[in-house]
Amino acid sequence: NGSMVATKYYNVNNFAKETDKTFVFDQPTLATVWTIPHLLNKFPSVTVVNDANEIVYAQTLYQSLDQVRINFAIPLKGKAYLN
């Protein structure tokens, strides 16, 4: 019935779950399109920062479970954080 008895011993295992996958993409040169192959096998959330570490908003296109394309109105360099 799922009840535990005070006079018995039980072996309880805590199986660690897989942690979420992440990927950091570095774009060192100015570009209006960043194509990011990431091999995360999912459609990750994407946060982009410029070279001054300021969050930038852009068009994000999921080309597959393993590739994202980000389009900017002006050329930028910086990082994309995927998770």
Percent of the chain predicted with pLDDT > 70: 84
| pTM of this prediction exceeds 0.85 | no
Instruction: Kindly list the distances between the CA atom of residue 42 and the CA atoms of 35, 64, 71, 83, in Å, as whole numbers in the listed order.
Output: 16, 8, 20, 9
Lowest mean pLDDT across 4-8, 10-14, 66-70, 71-75: 10-14
pLDDT mean over 14-30: 86
